Chains A and B, each alone.
Chain A
Amino acid sequence: MEVTTKSMPYEAWKDNEYIENLVKELQESGTNVIVGQFDKLINWGRSNSIWPLTFATSCCGIEFVSLGAARFDMARFGWEVARSSPRQADFMMVAGTIVHRMVPVFRRLYDQLAEPKYVIACGSCAISGGPFRNSYHVAKGIEDIVPVDVFVPGCPPRPEAMIYGIMQLSRKIKVERFFGGVNRQQSQEQFLREHPVEGLDVE
């Protein structure tokens, strides 16, 4: 099964291996024909209207603004509804450096996103700390704090790269199991056990 989005030819994608693995996983787990068709329908809708949270700490955020403006125009793809409240957003574009003081705030924003939720680590600071990695006050990548779906390298990434990154996310959404999959809310306890918040006792 060739998974693609926005009429992009399958061969034009630079990395298809991960999506093929996801498809394999999906096929192996097996599902009811009717439920599978509903899954497809809902995923088609979800993947074409993913709403970002306006979350930017530094330089990458400005490129994200450019992405929203007329030239790059993310409205073409259905991502233009940038929400200021995490309760209304689907994914979080972590654009910029995350520093020590920001870590608990960032984690809280992530926890407030409604399920199913996704994270894109945008720019080298969010991926690894970037040029500030050796600093005393910079988190060395956000992967230790929240689970990340897509990494977009660059300092800052060009808007085209951001578009490519979000399209990858949209493709990923397409091959998810919705009913009985991401639709089934993971219990808060289980998530917190896997990604603990310091000072918060799960039991």
Chain B
Amino acid sequence: MANIQEKIAKLFPEAVCEQFDTLQVTIPDSRWHDLAVALKEDPDLCYDYLITIVGMDWKTSMGCVYYMMSTTRGNDVIAVKVLATGDREMPMIHSVYDVWAVATLYEREVYDFFGIVFVNNPDMRRLFLNIDWIGYPLRKDYNDDPNINPATTRSERQSDFTQSWVEEPDGRIVKTEPRIFAEDDFVVNIGPQHPSTHGVLRFRTAVDGETIKKIDVYMGYIHRGVEKLSEKLTYQQTLPFMDRLDYFSAHNYHHGLCRLIERAAGITISRRAEVIRVMMDELSRIASHCLFMGTFCMDLGATSMLFYTLRVREQILDIMERTCGARMTFNYDCIGGVMQDLDSNFQQDVKDLLAVIPANIKEYNKVFVGNVIAKQRMEGIGHLSKEDAIAYGVTGPSGRASGWSCDLRKIRPYSIYPELEFDEVLATEGDAMARFKVRLEEIVQSARILEQLVDNIPEGEYCVKVPKVLKLPVGHWWEMVEGCRGVFGLYLESDGSTQPYRLKIAPPCLPAAGVVDHITRGMKIADLIAIGGSLDYIIPDMDR
């Protein structure tokens, strides 16, 4: 860490380095773009994966905290804090869309929530809210009177133009309005109500015959404002929202937020709770991948696969139900451990599950993977190279199918994962077939983890005593866990009260949707279904 600090201080004397849970560099906006280029290009730094951009409103000032990770050099994380210039009417920061490709999308999100304009970003539209939305909801002085922005049945105003603020050579900032599509493009609308978009996502697709020229991903049809809601609740009350983002990774997301709050509050949990949490994480990973296979194959026309895969999923849901009391939205992990002890039959149930998994995997391979039609629909479709996966921040099984070793359980192990024996599943093809196979293989690996743990659940208390209303010290924290679909990041800032000052959720599905435009270009419309399905995004997760 120290040499990175020295290196940055040498290159940028005006940068201020502080050590929190990660190294944080504060830099004025005028030097930010240069720092970003150095962070990415310099062989000693090489922070090539931008995890998220956290927009912030500190009341007196506004700004952003960028979190990035180096994939080649030990996977360490660095934070960069940039204060916006200009007044609250129009705060501005220079864009880094040309450094990390995924920044285009993240900056749009920050603009939508905070009204911070990113200079030079070619597409500065709102992301989740309507064009005519009044105010920026995550600002602290936002007026949430429902009469200002009512829910209306009036059709949303659409525009063919985006907006962009460009810096001229003489330093003036000029607003331009470029077109989203070319004037003679033929644009087809896919979604938001479409059976194979996996929820309410909309693609505005410019086509040339059947070939896709460009896709404008239009989201926000299930944007529920979880981050703003969390600011009015106590820490314990924010937990149930984690169930409802990516409802397949409910346990994993809970695990992440609990770890974050426990670390901030200095709570140590028992080993028993730790083991239970990891077992639940892995069970939900199997259940999630099972459902992925079912729905993905259904999209491709193989409806029967859904019945095969849901059989295992139902078995897992039964195990969870006996312990957590629900089939979905478990709300099981809590601050200090888990909500209640394991069901007395839990171990036997898991053993029964592990006994049937190998036969099922064999069956899935037989029914679908070797199928000629499936091969033709999936092989070589939607190729994503490793460099692009990193640039667009596509993590999880989709990233690993492109050869990017991005499994946090391996590269930044947390909880009890360092003690466990399992392989990180990697593929090099980067196509839809590889993404499918990686998930299939991950089921086997998760089963391996469960096998090691099922007979080794230590005795002890399942939850330590934690005050009903928790107060965190002033500060900010960063945490990442591996959800079923990739890196799930959480940023928490506390002002010392009982409620979070800011809770930023960095979901894995947002970048997965952001890369759709890039990998579908030149493909056929029918392939869009295979590609979208294989990326396996969950819309409530990306919209939050």
Contact = CB atoms under 8 A, between A and B. Distances in A.
A84 B151 contact: no
A96 B194 contact: no
Nearest to B244: A59
B137 A139 contact: no
Interface in A48-75: 54-59, 61-63, 65-66, 68-71
Given A97-B224, A99-B224, A155 B129 contact: no
B155 A104 contact: yes
Given A99-B222, A104-B153, A136-B228, A156 B192 contact: no
Given A100-B130, A101-B130, A138-B225, A57 B328 contact: no
Interface stretch (B33-41, B92-100, B260-268, B303-311): B303-311
B222 A57 contact: yes
A132 B229 contact: yes
B364 interface: no
For the residues of A in contact with B, the DSSP-based class is: loop
Interface residues on A, range: 35 or more
A63 B247 CA distance: 11
B451 interface: no
A134 interface: yes
A62 B153 contact: no
B516 to A, nearest CB: 19
Interface of B is mostly: loop
Contacts of A70: 307, 310-311
B152 A134 contact: no
Contact of B220 (A54, A97, A101, A139): A101
A157 B365 CA distance: 33
Interface size class of B (residues with CB under 8 A): 35 or more
B200 to A, nearest CB: 5
B436 interface: no
Among A69, A101, A108, A156, which residue has the most Cβ atoms of chain B within 10 A? A101
A102 B151 CA distance: 9
Interface string B110-154: 000000000000000000111000000100001010100101111
Contacts of B229: 132, 134-135
A55 B200 CA distance: 9
B332 interface: no
Interface string B176-192: 00000000000000001
Interface in A102-140: 102-105, 107-109, 131-132, 134-140
A198 B247 CA distance: 34
B222 A100 contact: no
B179 to A, nearest CB: 22
A103 B153 CA distance: 6
B156 A57 contact: no
B221 interface: yes
A105 to B, nearest CB: 6
B221 A104 contact: no
Nearest to B225: A135
B149 A136 contact: yes
Contact of A139 (B151, B155, B192, B248): B151
Nearest to B142: A136
Given A96-B540, A103-B151, A135-B226, 11 more contacts: A58-B222, A66-B313, A70-B307, A100-B151, A104-B155, A132-B229, A135-B229, A136-B144, A136-B228, A137-B137, A145-B153
Nearest 5 CB-CB pairings of A with B: A198-B154, A135-B225, A199-B154, A69-B310, A139-B151
